[in-house]
Structure 1
Amino acid sequence: MVIDADGPVPLYEQVAAILRQRIAAGELPPDRPIPSVARLQQEHGIARGTALHAVRVLVEEGLAYVVQGKGTYVRRQT
């Protein structure tokens, strides 16, 4: 999926959607880290704040959890 910087959907929502798809497809398995903020910036050409916002959305949705000092991981779905 490609980011559409000129489209109506905010960039952070587009990145969150990409990560959701990767989780659903098993590309990002449970209890494994999601790409770092720096990696998301590099892969999608987005600002740090945008990447952080996308990750925060996944945490708020219950798809990911934060391990202090280690990163953000995919939550096991029950």
Structure 2
Amino acid sequence: MTLDLDGPEPLYEQIAQILAARIADGTYPPRRRIPSEADIVAEFSVSRPAARAAVQLLVERGLVHTVRGKGSYVVDEPPRTGL
């Protein structure tokens, strides 16, 4: 998946979708860290606030939790979709 810079969907939502897909496919397994905000900035060439918003969206969706000073981790059991 690549970012659609001209599309109607905000960049942070697109990034969150990409990261969520990586969580779903096991690229980022449970109890392991997802990329840091700095890594997201570098990978997607976006601002730090966009990276932060993407991670926050994953937190709100119950896919990751953030540990202050350590990073954001995939939850043990991500919520099931389609139920």
Under a length normalisation based on structure 1, what TM-score does the superposition of the two structures give?
0.96
Structure 2 portions without partners, runs of 5+: 79-83
What is the CA RMSD across the aligned residues, in angstroms?
0.9
- Structure-2 residue corresponding to 1:41: 41
- Structure-2 residue corresponding to 1:60: 60
Give the ranges of 4+ consecutive aligned residues of structure 1 lying more than 2 Å apart after TM superposition.
none
- Structure-1 residue corresponding to 2:76: 76
Equivalent-residue separation in structure 2 for 1:33 and 1:39 (angstroms):
12
Aligned length: 78
SS of the residue aligned with 2:66?
Answer: strand
Equivalent-residue separation in structure 2 for 1:7 and 1:61 (angstroms):
22
Tell me by how many angstroms 1:69 deviates.
1.1
- Structure-2 residue corresponding to 1:4: 4
SS of the residue aligned with 2:41?
Answer: helix
SS of the residue aligned with 1:53?
Answer: helix
SS of the residue aligned with 1:62?
Answer: coil
Query: 1:51 is aligned with what amino acid?
Result: A
Tell me by how many angstroms 1:67 deviates.
1.0
Structure 1 portions without partners, runs of 5+: none
